[in-house]
Chains A and B, each alone.
Chain A
Amino acid sequence: MLNALWQGKTLPVLAVCAVLAVFWYAGSVWLNADMQRDAFANAGKADFTMAELIDGTWSQERPKLPTPGQILVELNKTILDTAPTSKRSLVYHGSVTVSATLLGFLIGSVLGMGLAVLVVHVKSLDRSLMPWVVASQTIPIIALAPMIVVIMNQFDITGLVPKAVIAAYLSFFPVTVGMVKGLRSPDPLQLDLMRTYSADRLQIFLKLRVPASMPFLFASLKVAVAASLVGTVVAELTKSEDGGFGARLLAGSYYGQTIQIWSALFAAAACAWVLVTLVGIADRLVTRAMGARP
């Protein structure tokens, strides 16, 4: 039993997390100590014990590095103890970000899959457009985000849509690349087999190319959903009045509210994790439905 734990992944991951937590707390002491000493000096407290110093560094209001405990307290306060409609609630900000992310991800992936189907069947598109799609993966196209937000603002398009547009184009490219790769993945033998049945293009597409493309599609969907979230967060930096994790990060950095930044970061990370996991579950369901080994 113990051996199984040791050989498995749970125990090592927990151990690494525990070590990280220890380092984190130590880091909090190290980074916040100067400020704490100043605080003691300002309060006219000349002699203080080590315990007092450490305790102080772990409970500052705007520490350089808040402790995981402080972040959890803040998360608890802003998620559970605040009404979800309030602008102080992380649930509210989370829903703003996630809804834009999901809308954009949906649009981007559908368009990406559509383009992939076209690219596989139309040679001129493959040769002329595809190199650009691939090249788009090597450049920071996220830099377009602020511009898109501002320009759409000119047309009075605000709120969800500009963010979704950014999330969409960020997911569009990886999905196209992955799906094209997947639709091309059947080997010549499998294609020849279909040809011996004199299957038409649609049959080859539905019975061979689409099933073969699924692992590739889902791998790129995972990348795409993560990219969508990053895109939404970055868009929220430019137009922060609508709220969202990006707005939270920006407000926190303006006012030096480090605990707020960290908790927004943790919440965003949790959302990303949930989204990627959901795609992973969909992946497993689809591949199992297609009879792949579990």
Chain B
Amino acid sequence: MTGVKFHRPIALLAGILAIFAAVAPIDLGVDGLALGDHLWSRMVFGILGVTALRDSQDTPQPANAIWNLPFAALLAAVEIVDLAHMSGVRGWGFFCGIGGVWLSAWRTVDIVIARTPTRGRRAQFMRLLVPMIFGATLLVMWETLAISLEVPKVILPTPFAILLRLVTSVPTLAADFVQTAQGVIAGYAIGCGAGVLIAIVIDRVPFLQRGLLPLGNLVSALPIVGVAPIMVMWFGFDWQSKAAVVVIMTFFPMLVNTVAGLSAAGHMERDLMKTYAASYNQTLLDLRLPAALPFIFNGLKINSTLAFIGAIVAEFFGTPIVGMGFRINTEVGRMNIDMVWATIVVAGVAGSLFYGLLALVERRATFWHASYRQGVM
């Protein structure tokens, strides 16, 4: 199965744009060719242009030459970011350079994909590399375009500015994170724990199951974050009220998933336990809980995102002067958008790390499940 092919036109266009960048005015207001300026930049773009044009040819290249374009693109990307930070760099050659970098990054992605083996460690690495290249390209585009098009800081700060803000505000961000994390962790633990326990309790009472499951499914679709103002009234401004919101948000997904998981064990496996005259508890511990683990982990993973959403949104309703939701809300009001982005970066990293940790534990705990048996990640 092959994808739509436009490798060659991409490389061709990248090459042409890079050649333009190498010869066209890079500075604003300079007419005609100013080959003397930015000599190093012009050289870099020239190299990128030549390698891209060679890459666009059909003639077979030596095996190691395939990596020339990615390296030239990397060099050019660094160069274009550097140029963007210089004052007065707004010439059309510069924008050609941006286009050239973008297209050669696209071609690079194709090259990496084509060279990715189907399995093994190398495949895992390269599969991770591709989205990284994509993300880096996006950041380069963001940085260069935001500066050169003079997008106001209060609308879209550049990645570099955000990074700077992040690094210089570590104490504030850390305090915010700790404040929010308290609510997230406490609420998550209580909500998920209660979900699993109640599921086990109602497992013996089918009547309760039939009554609670439709309600649980219904509640999972409702905008529960709305209880935040009530919880703030009940439990005060501090993290306890956020934890309460998180408890309510995470409880039902956990309940529904665990109940589904407890019925996941097959008939034959249950009959087997019956032939051993196993007790209810033995069947639960030896068969049904292990069989429910994939479902329980599914609930845990869904809830990891929900917990962060619940805690952050609850902080919009009132909090001591610390916390990620508080930070976002107040800094948005003060138009410190770079600080907002910095907080969002922290929230994103924290969220994905939490999720990643869960995914790792899941792999360990349910290694036997069909979805993991075939090696590739």
Contact = CB atoms under 8 A, between A and B. Distances in A.
A258 B225 CA distance: 15
Given A16-B211, A230-B225, A258-B233, A124 B317 contact: no
B305 A140 contact: yes
Interface size class of A (residues with CB under 8 A): 35 or more
B117 interface: no
B223 A13 contact: no
Contacts, number: 174
Contacts of B318: 253
B343 interface: yes
B232 A127 contact: no
A16 B215 contact: yes
A143 B223 contact: no
A79 interface: no
A124 B229 contact: no
B155 A140 contact: no
Nearest to B133: A128
A252 interface: yes
A6 to B, nearest CB: 7
Given A140-B347, A143-B312, A273 B229 contact: no
B365 interface: no
Contacts of A137: 305
B22 interface: no
A129 B130 CA distance: 9
A163 interface: no
A17 B304 CA distance: 28
A288 interface: no
B4 A121 contact: yes
Contact of A124 (B106, B328, B333, B340): B106
B223 A128 contact: no
A269 B4 CA distance: 44
Overall SS of chain B's interface: helix
Contacts of B280: none
A129 B328 contact: no
A143 B328 contact: yes
A6 B208 CA distance: 11
A157 B229 CA distance: 28
B260 interface: no
Interface string A113-125: 0000000011110
A127 B328 contact: no
Contact of B3 (A122, A146, A258): A122
Contacts of B232: 253
Contacts of B321: none
B136 to A, nearest CB: 11
A70 B3 CA distance: 60
A286 interface: no
B112 to A, nearest CB: 8
A166 interface: no
15 contacts: A12-B210, A123-B2, A124-B3, A128-B131, A138-B352, A142-B313, A222-B221, A226-B221, A229-B223, A234-B313, A238-B329, A249-B229, A261-B229, A268-B226, A272-B222
Interface of B: 2-4, 106, 109-110, 113, 127, 130-131, 133-135, 154-156, 207-212, 214-215, 218, 221-223, 225-230, 232-234, 301, 304-305, 308-309, 312-313, 316-318, 324-325, 328-329, 332-333, 335, 337, 340-341, 343-344, 347-348, 351-352, 354-356
Interface of A: 6, 8-9, 12-17, 31, 64, 121-124, 126-132, 135, 137-144, 146-147, 150-151, 154, 222, 226, 229-230, 233-234, 237-238, 245, 249-250, 252-253, 256, 258, 261-262, 264-265, 268-269, 272-273, 276
